[in-house]
Every structure is written in C-alpha cells, then in structure tokens.
C-alpha cells in the first residue's frame, strides 16, 4: 500500500477549533474575521440544531457554541 494514500497532502490545512457565541449566529465558515475568509465557498452551519457543535464540510474546522 502506498504511503501517500494514507498521509495528508503537504498543502492540507490542519483543522481548527473555534468557540462561537449566539451573537455570532448565523454561523458561516469561513468566518468573516478569518484571514482566509475566501478560502472556500461560504457554508452556513446549523450549530444550534447540531447540539452546539458543527464541522465545516469543506475545511473540517470545528465550531463550538459556548453560550
């Protein structure tokens, strides 16, 4: 089995965890404040309906609702 099939690409961005507040809703990724706000198409995440935690399907960032 090729090793490259199991390792992420050198350009892959590591997933990050972000705490968000109800005042930040509706939640979209990437957040407007992120330096890479145009990294991928904006996707809205249903963090309240998801039990207070959502993951972006594009970049894998995890968002946690703290209040």
Backbone angles phi, psi at 54, to 5 degrees: -135, 155
Angle at 48 between CA 43 and CA 54, to 5 degrees: 50
Residue with tokens 């993951």: 55
| Lowest-pLDDT choice from 3-7, 27-31, 51-55 | 3-7
pLDDT in tens, 40-67: 889 999 999 999 999 999 999 999 999 8
Q: Give the pLDDT score at 31.
A: 86
> What's the mean pLDDT when you consider all of the chain?
82
For residue 6, pLDDT beyond 80: no
pTM of the complete model: 0.73
Q: Give the pLDDT score at 51.
A: 97
Q: Which residues contact 36 (CB under 8 A, 6 or more apart)?
A: 30
């Amino acid at each position: 089995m090729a090793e490259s099939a199991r390792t992420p690409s050198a350009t892959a961005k590591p997933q990050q965890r972000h705490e968000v507040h109800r005042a930040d809703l509706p939640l979209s990724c990437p957040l407007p404040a992120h330096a890479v706000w145009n990294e991928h198409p904006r996707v809205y995440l249903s963090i309240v309906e998801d039990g207070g935690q959502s993951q972006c399907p594009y970049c894998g960032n995890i968002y946690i609702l703290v209040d």
